[in-house]
Structure 1
């Protein structure tokens, strides 16, 4: 297992290098000049040239990339074009809120999807199956921004039981319960989309397993149907489900961008929108690189979880 993990990490190095190239050139080839957004409208051409020189924007793009890559290897992501604050500090302040939101959303998604998917498979072609399938289609089809605005309207404006946005109440105690109340809506909105697609995967995987001979043997031995389904069948059905976990991370990251903006959640998603709007290239490139690393690590984690779910899987 250890050798396999080391090998996967070594394979990830050239992948990350390719990501840095693509990331840097795509961001810097975007239309618009960041200097024009921050400099005084009365500034002369000489003032603009001085500002570009100070930011290193006058160098050829491959030189800019080389300097950026060398600094990245040193742990220096540069300074923001908007706040002039080190990018690493801005990201470190936003990582925990995003991890809290994404982790809670993922837990909610699987707490919803796995039981519903199992019930749908066991009750195949029943009204329960049709009802759960309808739920999954609705979860996938409804855009997160529409669901988020609807949730704010119902639970915050009409019922007035949950806050409209933010992570803490302004001027409040900022305690655990206050953060929990602010987390409920964005986590459920983000988790619902993941749960909608996951129900279909769980159902399909369970249907493949439920017809296996070893489950008939387990029933013939007198085991209760609950034990047969939730212990023997579910564990083998987890293999394709674990694969989907690695695919859910990019969906969570993309969904967090929209959800955090709707609920004004102070995470990386909101910072991404701000960086795009202000052409803050260093911040945007750092966030993209962090997202790529997250996807690679989640795929590695999925491979490791295979052997946990099924001891027959060995890595050599």
Structure 2
């Protein structure tokens, strides 16, 4: 979208991102259930397994399609907007104009120079989102009745189970620290200049 600013692809991706950011995730989940589970009957509407099919991994996969679509659509939209704005700002930088003056192709500049500079802030966002992997799906798991950490957290809050609440918060904090560590390690692969720093 950033590379094709103000073209049809940019407009389509912008529309996708704006819808994903603006629409509440619980409403989007209910919409997915209404269309794909109730009307089309393609996927199950709730739960993790069908009763009597405990050992069937394909059944678990079918139950996970709609929650994954809801979470992906919600989270991917913010990444699209962030990458687009960073790409546009990088394409207007002086080093890009210098590369164009030396005869470099636009695709070569995008994949060899701009991509590395755009990836660094995205890696930071990725590291910060590790904590959400544990407790970031409260609403989604409630809408789809998926027995995960988010639903367990809501049940522990409503039942005033303080040890379980503290355990979930501790696990989320540890995942956040782990995500920052992974982000720091990924910096070295994304930008070779960081490897030479002492």
TM-score of the superposition, structure 2-length normalised? 0.88
Q: Distance in 2 between matches of 1:147 and 1:254?
A: 19
2:125 is the counterpart of 1:244: yes
Q: Name the CA shift for 1:196/1:145 in 2 (closer, same or farther; >3 Å).
A: same
Q: How does 1:1-316 map to 2 (within 5 A)?
A: 120-172=1-53, 174-216=55-97, 218-219=99-100, 224-314=105-195, 315-316=197-198
In the superposition, relative to structure 1, how do residues 231 and 178 fare at CA in structure 2: closer, same or farther (>3 Å)?
Answer: farther
Q: In 1, Cα distance between the equivalents of 2:59 and 2:112? A: 38
User: Structure 2 vs 1, CA of residues 137 and 251 (structure 1 numbering), >3 Å: closer, same or farther?
Assistant: farther
Q: Is the 8 A contact 1:190 1:255 kept in 2?
A: no
Greater C-alpha radius of gyration:
1
Q: In structure 2, how many angstroms separate the alpha carbons of the residues matched to 1:148 and 1:259?
A: 7
For 2:90 and 2:31, how far apart are their aligned partners in 1?
38
Number of equivalenced pairs: 197
Q: Is the CA contact (8 Å cut-off) linking 1:151 and 1:185 kept in structure 2? A: yes
Matches of 1:174 and 1:214, distance apart in 2: 56
| Runs of 5+ unmatched residues, structure 1 | 1-119
Question: Structure 2: which 5+ runs fail to align?
Answer: none
Q: CA deviation at 1:216?
A: 4.3
CA contact (8 A) 1:156 1:163 kept: yes
Once structures 1 and 2 are overlaid, which stretch shifts more, 184-193 or 152-161?
184-193
Contact residue 140 and residue 196 of structure 1 kept, 8 A: yes
Cα distance in 2 for partners of 1:174, 1:217 equals 59
**Larger RCO (CA within 8 A; separation ≥ 6):** 1
- Give the C-alpha shift of residue 155 in structure 1: 0.4
- Between the aligned partners of 1:222 and 1:178, the Cα distance in structure 2 is 54
CA gap 1:173/1:283 in 2 versus in 1, 3 angstroms:
closer
Q: Residues of 2 paired with 1:228 and 1:168: CA distance?
A: 48
Task: For residue 208 of structure 1, report the CA deviation from its aligned partner.
Answer: 2.2
TM-score normalized by the length of structure 1 = 0.57
Mapped to 2, the partners of 1:186 and 1:134 lie a distance apart of: 22
CA distance in 1, matches of 2:121, 2:104: 25
